[in-house]
């Protein structure tokens, strides 16, 4: 008999009966451990307190019978074989017990047959266990990635489809399919071996898994390709924020065998329902847009865009021309003066990008920036704008004319790039511009997406001597709590507030409060979008430091700014 040790729960038998069974089993080389239970309370306690190889039970005893024990086992989902070892000979009684789950019935006194019955049931349980393990292994091999233990494509689609069904029930809910590709994985495999590449994939999977929950599914397709499906969103901006969070996961290097590996991610995104209503279509669309991402910049994301109608066709033409435009230096800068409201003189200038398209003419930012952001081209454009603005500011500095500082806008995508600090330092070094003459302007909502990360990046920039401007302040009011902690030099009051100075009394109260708050915190206050004398008078009266807007000047080419500076030296606003 293969089972040299058995642990039995013996029910409804005397101590003498149990001792006799122990002796009989011992003569067959079986070491028997047992416990007696002769009432329902003791039976329940014994089953809850310990694990048993089998239960040996008389059919009935005072206050309880085998059918009640079987019902209890079923309610607890216990698979312990119960064998009747009984003096009951009524066939109908025994059949009823077998129908209700008893494994076998052995006449009391036939201990050898009882041993065989126990042996057979335990072997049957072992076979079932092995089959479950085999089935589980086959299932895992079929539906789960062996390296990362994440769902493969088929299981991922099955789970995502279930979430899509929930999204279909709410008309205002959107979902996003993200196709993620590790850049440089093949080079790492070639140089360091697939073992290192596999560890890298596993560690990235661990980092990505922090975002997995009941509304967000992560899977792996092959090599360095992952897929995310996130539901329960109401606006595309949430998908953009999610993609930014994913990109931040690779900002920290991967340490493998004492080596540091920096990798970048390319992420393609398609949205439900506008880009498809089936997960297979959404994933295909998300994967397709990576073709464009690879050609623009690393560690960024691209949204899938449908081709439909003349507007989409022109949008597509713009996207396709973005890279060519950068290569041909079609992007130029115009400069809008920043006025000192105390002296009336031009004290600075904001650099604003324009695209001199060979076919479409001069394009303003609202005609191409969103496409540049979606395609990742905004990174390269931003770098070029930064260098050109610093070069122009250095020229003004050396000539002794022109504004004393230059302001450059930083997009949300640029702020999320680990290269931003390097790009700023590089621009200052190459052009020789004093860091204090460079301002970086960042939208309030961008800074608030990840306050801790923003504080860290802004502190690094300020350590370089660069000044920081928070743009569009006061529209969302989200940063009031953090304002004293954010390393900000200048608060820029949003244009939408400035436009309502005369028409809405509560707006003037808000602007006055912002100016007071900023001054109390030692910050400069700047207002943008000034168009009327009434707006200007109000801002001067309330001691706003700087202003800019069409009342003074529209953005102009660099060569047209110096005459404006000379005109303003009188300090008048005429």
Report yes or no: 413 and 300 within 8 Å, Cβ to Cβ.
yes
Average pLDDT over residues 197-209: 93
**pLDDT > 50? residue 105:** yes
The CATH number of the domain covering residues in 326-564 = 3.20.20.450
Dig out the tokens for 184 from the structure: 């440089």
Average pLDDT over residues 482-486: 78
The percent helix, strand, coil of the chain (3-state, each to 5) is 50, 25, 30
Dig out the tokens for 266 from the structure: 């390319």
Check if 153-304 and 326-564 are the same fold: no
**pLDDT > 50? residue 1:** no
Q: Which stretch of 273-287, 303-317, 354-368, 499-513 has the lowest confidence by average pLDDT?
A: 303-317
| pLDDT of 404 | 92
| pLDDT of 295 | 47
| pLDDT of 140 | 79
| pLDDT of 424 | 94
Q: What is the CA radius of gyration of the chain?
A: 37
Pairwise CA distance, residues 463 & 435, whole Å: 10
| pLDDT of 500 | 86
What single DSSP character describes residue 211?
G
CB atoms closer than 10 angstroms to residue 138: 10
The residue to which tokens 């209700």 are assigned: 100
Dig out the tokens for 545 from the structure: 């430091």
Containing H/E element for 361? strand 361-363
Average pLDDT over residues 250-269: 88
**Strands annotated E in 411-474:** 438-443, 467-473
The residue to which tokens 């995104």 are assigned: 269
| pLDDT of 309 | 32
Q: Mind spelling out the 3-state secondary structure of 535-574? A: HHHHHHHCCCCEEECCCCCCCECHHHHHHHHHHHCCCCCC
Average pLDDT over residues 419-426: 90
**pLDDT > 90? residue 138:** no
Q: Which stretch of 57-66, 151-160, 461-470 has the lowest confidence by average pLDDT?
A: 57-66
Q: Is the sign of the CA dihedral 416, 494, 435, 398 positive or negative? A: positive
Average pLDDT over residues 251-277: 88
| pLDDT of 15 | 92
**pLDDT > 70? residue 169:** no
Boundaries of every domain in the chain = 5-142, 153-304, 326-564
| pLDDT of 60 | 84
| pLDDT of 306 | 63
Dig out the tokens for 145 from the structure: 């990635």
| pLDDT of 481 | 66
**pLDDT > 70? residue 570:** no
For residue 434, what pLDDT band results from cuts at 50, 70 and 90?
A: very high
| pLDDT of 340 | 93
The CATH number of the domain covering residues in 5-142 = 3.40.50.2300
Residue of higher predicted confidence among 290 and 84: 84
Pairwise CA distance, residues 528 & 563, whole Å: 21
| pLDDT of 356 | 85
For residue 316, what pLDDT band results from cuts at 50, 70 and 90?
A: low
Dig out the tokens for 205 from the structure: 């999977």
- What is the fold of 153-304? Alpha-Beta Plaits (3.30.70)
| pLDDT of 338 | 95
Pairwise CA distance, residues 55 & 97, whole Å: 14
Containing H/E element for 457? helix 451-463
For residue 318, what pLDDT band results from cuts at 50, 70 and 90?
A: low
Report yes or no: 512 and 304 within 8 Å, Cβ to Cβ.
no
The residue to which tokens 């290097």 are assigned: 253
| pLDDT of 256 | 92
Containing H/E element for 31? strand 31-37
What mean pLDDT is reported for the chain? 86
Candidates 81, 129, 118; CA nearest to 101 is 81
Report yes or no: 556 and 334 within 8 Å, Cβ to Cβ.
yes
- Largest Cα separation within the chain, whole Å, is 120
**pLDDT > 80? residue 327:** no
Pairwise CA distance, residues 123 & 100, whole Å: 21
Pairwise CA distance, residues 548 & 339, whole Å: 6
| Whether residue 273 has a cis bond before it, omega within 30° of 0 | yes
Average pLDDT over residues 423-428: 94
Pairwise CA distance, residues 347 & 82, whole Å: 92
């Amino acid at each position: 008999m293969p089972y040299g040790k058995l642990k039995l729960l013996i029910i409804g038998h005397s101590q003498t009966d149990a001792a006799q069974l122990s002796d009989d089993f011992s003569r067959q080389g079986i070491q028997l451990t047992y416990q007696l239970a002769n009432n329902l309370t003791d039976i329940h306690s014994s089953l809850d307190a310990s694990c048993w190889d089998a239960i040996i039970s008389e059919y009935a005893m005072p206050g309880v019978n085998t059918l009640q024990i079987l019902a209890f086992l079923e309610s607890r989902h216990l698979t312990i074989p119960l064998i009747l070892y009984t003096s009951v000979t009524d066939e109908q009684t025994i059949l009823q017990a077998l129908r209700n789950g008893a494994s076998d019935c052995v006449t009391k006194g036939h201990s050898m047959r009882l041993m065989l019955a126990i042996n057979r049931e335990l072997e049957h349980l072992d076979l079932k266990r092995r089959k479950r393990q085999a089935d589980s292994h086959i299932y895992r091999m079929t539906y789960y990635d062996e390296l990362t233990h994440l769902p493969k494509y088929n299981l991922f689609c099955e789970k995502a489809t279930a979430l899509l069904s929930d999204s279909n029930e709410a008309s205002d809910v959107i979902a996003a399919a993200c196709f993620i590709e590790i850049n440089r994985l093949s080079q790492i495999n070639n140089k360091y071996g697939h073992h290192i590449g596999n560890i890298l994939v596993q560690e990235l999977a661990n980092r990505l898994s922090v975002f997995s929950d009941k509304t967000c599914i992560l899977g792996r397709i092959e090599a360095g390709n992952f897929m995310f499906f996130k539901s329960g969103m109401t606006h595309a901006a949430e998908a953009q924020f999610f993609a930014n969070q994913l990109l931040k996961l690779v900002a920290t290097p991967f340490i493998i065998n004492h080596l540091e590996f920096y990798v970048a991610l390319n992420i393609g995104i398609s949205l439900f329902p506008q880009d498809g209503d089936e997960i297979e279509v959404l994933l295909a669309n998300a994967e397709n847009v990576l073709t464009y991402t690879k050609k623009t910049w690393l560690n960024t994301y691209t949204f899938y865009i449908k081709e439909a109608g003349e507007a989409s066709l022109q949008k597509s033409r713009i996207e396709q021309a973005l890279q060519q435009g950068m290569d041909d230096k079609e992007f130029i800068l115009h400069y809008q003066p920043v006025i000192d409201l105390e002296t009336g003189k031009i004290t600075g200038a904001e650099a604003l990008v324009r695209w001199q398209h060979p076919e479409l003419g001069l394009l303003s930012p609202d005609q191409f920036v969103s496409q540049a952001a979606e395609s990742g081209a905004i990174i390269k454009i931003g770098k070029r704008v930064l260098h050109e603005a610093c070069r122009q500011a250095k020229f003004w500095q050396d000539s002794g004319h022109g504004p004393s500082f230059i302001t450059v806008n930083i997009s949300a995508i640029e702020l999320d790039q680990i290269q931003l600090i390097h790009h700023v330092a590089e621009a200052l070094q190459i052009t020789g511009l004093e860091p204090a003459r460079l301002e970086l302007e960042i939208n309030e909502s961008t800074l608030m997406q990840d306050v801790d990360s923003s504080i860290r990046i802004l502190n690094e920039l300020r350590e370089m001597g660069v000044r920081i401007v928070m743009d569009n302040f006061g529209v969302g009011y989200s940063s009031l709590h953090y304002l004293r902690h954010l390393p900000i030099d200048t608060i820029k009051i949003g244009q939408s507030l400035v436009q309502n100075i005369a028409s809405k009394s509560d707006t003037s109260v808000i602007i006055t409060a912002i100016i007071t708050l900023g001054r109390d915190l030692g910050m400069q206050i700047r207002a943008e979008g000034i168009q009327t004398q009434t707006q200007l008078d109000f801002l001067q009266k309330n001691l706003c430091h700087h202003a800019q807007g069409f009342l003074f000047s529209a953005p102009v080419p660099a060569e047209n700014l110096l005459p404006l500076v000379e005109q303003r030296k009188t300090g008048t606003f005429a």
